């Protein structure tokens, strides 16, 4: 039988019970009960247990389905559920005497039935239970304000304050709604923690100054939407081994500044596949804004390999600002898409790829970071249609990488526009616009067999630098209006430099290496006023010597190609 049919049957049964529902009241005067436990025990499926203003000691265990536990402000504020037993019901034996001990702490509300609602309470006093060992199971979640072991429940509009341990914990629980809660000042736990709990929705909650914000582990298809997560001691949102996670429209800010652990303080720490991170504001966190990682990458010879590997995620349309490290960092991942994000004023790189292959960064606006977009051993990654301005070092830095590409990017006011370093090979740089840099494009460190095609580099101190670069193809580029158009050192050799416009520079080129400036019939366009083209074939009548060494363009062009 399909999951849909089973869920439909459950819902039909639940709704049939609601038609016979009654309201049971709890309070000091004029109510059906003065203890919530007794009201819960008396409730039938579909009943509403309405709790009036006051403070109640509770370790509730809800086992009846479709019960609504609702707080009602009857003049004294929202009712308060304080974790602890409401009666002296625990025996303690010593010195031949038996006494009854009232328990404190533990879990306030445990939900073990489906279709239960808990709403409109202040929940407090959640701590390690006394006597020790009398609380909920000693598992990954432990004691919490509300613990859920079941499905299709709602936790709505509650305030969690004055607690030591986690506010909301889900264990093997699915299709629950956690909506509109306020959770603050938890020193030793999570605002929310989900384990092995798929298909849950976390929406419009406020989490402030908790040890950790929201953690989901082995919990596929979780939606985290329109929450505010601020000033967590450690990370804002943590996702482990969870696929199809949707993190959208959240404000995640200023997390991690009280952490004693180096590397904590991420806005989002994400490990899973085929998820969505969209339309969030991720700002002023101590570490990375968004960190996506894989585990056991080195053991995965034929990906995909499961939830431990992060692939197929989309990071789109986020504002990522002022974080202490990289705006977005992908480590040991593959085939993720980073699109249309506004990434500014981060203290590391705007976007970093480390050991991450076949990823895409497109249409992002990156400014005021260390490097704008940085590829470190990240093969076949595509960087296109991005705008990168006012970075501290390099607009696009590609290091020890194979087969990547950077196309149609706009780079303005960066010390170095694009750099290929440390034996990059098979890289395509095409149709990029680089303006007002110290160095427009730099190929160095043994980078070879790369292609530079149809780029526009202008208003730089040096348009193109070759330093220890060999066998690269440099064709069809417009390198104009720079102080120096092209500079090649003595260790650069075998580069093919043809069909380029190198006019209107203060100095066109200086080459101490051994490179080729024509293909045997056509070379480059150098200067419209220093060429005799008597036969009108578009090629100057004599060669042009390249200063700095023994190179020459044997067939300099009388006009740029295409004119």
Which residues 6+ apart lie within 8 Å of 403 measured at CB?
379, 380, 425, 426, 427
Q: What is the pLDDT of residue 129?
A: 74
Element (H, E) at 17: helix 3-18
Q: Does 87 score more than 90 pLDDT?
A: no
pLDDT level of residue 108 (50, 70, 90 thresholds):
very high
| pLDDT, mean over the chain | 91
pLDDT in tens, 141-196: 789 999 999 999 999 999 999 999 999 999 999 999 999 999 999 999 999 999 99
Q: Does 133 score more than 90 pLDDT?
A: no
Range with the lowest mean pLDDT among 11-15, 80-84, 220-224, 278-282? 11-15
Q: What is the pLDDT of residue 90?
A: 43
pLDDT level of residue 9 (50, 70, 90 thresholds):
low
Range with the lowest mean pLDDT among 142-146, 174-178, 498-502, 513-517? 142-146
Helices (H), 206-335: none
Q: Does 218 score more than 60 pLDDT?
A: yes
Q: What is the pLDDT of residue 136?
A: 53
Q: Does 549 score more than 60 pLDDT?
A: yes
Range with the lowest mean pLDDT among 450-454, 488-492, 540-544? 540-544
User: How far is the CA of 20 from the CAs of 23, 154, 183, 493, in angstroms?
Assistant: 10, 20, 34, 87
Q: Show the tokens assigned to 507.
A: 């100095």
**In sequence order, what are the beta bridge partners of 183?**
160, 207
Q: Span 97-106, mean pLDDT?
A: 60
Q: Does 214 score more than 80 pLDDT?
A: yes
Instruction: Report whether 509 contacts 485 (CB < 8 A).
Output: yes
Q: Span 41-66, mean pLDDT?
A: 97
In this structure, the strands spanning 507-511 and 478-480 are: unpaired
Q: Does 297 score more than 80 pLDDT?
A: no
Q: What is the pLDDT of residue 559?
A: 85
Strands (E), 3-121: 23-26, 48-52, 55-58, 60-62, 68-72, 80-83, 90-94, 97-101, 109-111, 117-119
Q: Does 31 score more than 80 pLDDT?
A: yes
SS3 string, 243-300, reads CCCEEECCEEECCCCCCCCCCCCCCEEEECCCCEEECCEEECCCCCCEEEECCCHHHC
Q: What is the pLDDT of residue 529?
A: 74
User: Please, what sign has the CA dihedral across residues 376, 380, 381, 385?
Assistant: positive
Other C-beta atoms within 10 Å of 91: how many? 9
Q: Is 36 in a helix, a strand, or coil?
A: helix
Q: Does 94 score more than 90 pLDDT?
A: no
Q: What is the pLDDT of residue 346?
A: 98
d(CA 550, CA 546): 7
Q: What is the pLDDT of residue 424?
A: 98
Q: Span 444-468, mean pLDDT?
A: 98
Q: What is the pLDDT of residue 100?
A: 45
d(CA 427, CA 298): 24
Instruction: Report whether 47 contacts 29 (CB < 8 A).
Output: no
Range with the lowest mean pLDDT among 190-204, 476-490, 519-533, 537-551? 519-533
């Amino acid at each position: 039988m399909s999951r849909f049919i089973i869920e439909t049957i459950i819902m039909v049964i639940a709704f049939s019970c609601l038609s016979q529902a009654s309201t049971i009241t709890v309070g000091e005067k004029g109510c059906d009960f003065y203890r919530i436990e007794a009201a819960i025990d008396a409730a039938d499926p579909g009943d509403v247990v309405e709790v009036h203003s006051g403070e109640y000691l509770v370790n509730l265990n809800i086992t009846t389905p479709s019960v609504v536990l609702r707080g009602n402000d009857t003049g004294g504020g929202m009712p308060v559920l304080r974790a602890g037993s409401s009666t002296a019901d625990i025996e303690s034996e010593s010195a031949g005497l038996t006494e009854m001990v009232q328990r404190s702490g533990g879990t306030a509300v445990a939900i073990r039935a489906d279709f239960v609602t808990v709403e409109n309470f202040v929940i407090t006093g959640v701590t390690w239970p006394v006597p020790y060992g009398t609380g909920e199971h000693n598992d990954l979640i432990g004691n919490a304000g509300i613990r859920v072991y079941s499905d299709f429940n709602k936790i709505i509009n509650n305030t969690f304050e004055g607690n030591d341990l986690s506010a909301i914990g889900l264990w093997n629980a699915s299709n629950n709604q956690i909506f509109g809660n306020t959770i603050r000042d938890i020193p030793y736990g999570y605002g929310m923690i989900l384990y092995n709990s798929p298909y849950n929705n976390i929406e419009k909650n406020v989490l402030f100054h908790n040890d950790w914000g929201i953690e989901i582990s082995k919990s596929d298809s979780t939606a985290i939407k329109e929450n505010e997560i601020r000033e967590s001691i450690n990370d804002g949102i943590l996702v482990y081994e969870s696929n199809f996670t949707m993190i959208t429209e959240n404000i995640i800010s200023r997390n991690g500044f009280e952490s004693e652990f180096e590397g904590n303080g991420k806005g989002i720490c994400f490990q899973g596949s085929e998820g969505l991170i969209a339309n969030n504001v991720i700002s002023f966190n101590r570490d990375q804004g968004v960190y996506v990682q894989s585990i056991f990458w080195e053991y995965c010879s034929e990906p995909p390999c499961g939830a431990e590997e992060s692939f197929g995620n989309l990071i789109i349309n986020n504002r990522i600002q002022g974080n202490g490290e990289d705006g977005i960092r992908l480590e040991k991942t593959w085939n993720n898409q980073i699109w249309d994000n506004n990434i500014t004023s981060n203290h590391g790189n705007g976007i970093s790829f480390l050991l991450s292959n076949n990823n895409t960064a497109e249409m992002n606006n990156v400014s005021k970071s260390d490097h704008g977009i940085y590829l470190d051993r990240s093969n076949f990654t595509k960087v296109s249609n991005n705008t990168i301005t006012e970075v501290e070092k390099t607009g696009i830095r590609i290091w020890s990488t194979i087969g990547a590409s950077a196309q149609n990017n706009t780079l303005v006011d960066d010390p170095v526009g694009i750099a290929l370093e440390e034996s990059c090979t098979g890289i395509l740089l095409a149709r990029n616009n680089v303006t007002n840099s110290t160095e427009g494009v730099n190929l160095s460190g043994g980078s070879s067999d790369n292609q530079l095609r149809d780029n526009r580099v202008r208003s730089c101190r040096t348009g193109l630098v070759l330093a220890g670069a060999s066998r690269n193809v440099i064709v069809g580029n417009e390198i104009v209006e720079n102080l120096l158009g092209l500079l090649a050192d003595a260790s650069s050799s075998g580069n093919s430099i043809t069909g380029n416009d190198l006019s209107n520079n203060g100095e066109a080129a200086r080459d101490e290496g051994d490179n080729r400036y024509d293909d045997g019939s056509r070379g480059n366009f150098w200067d419209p006023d220093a060429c005799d083209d008597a036969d009108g074939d578009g090629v100057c009548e004599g060669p042009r010597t390249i200063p700095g060494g023994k190179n020459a363009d044997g067939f300099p062009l009388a006009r740029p190609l295409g004119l």
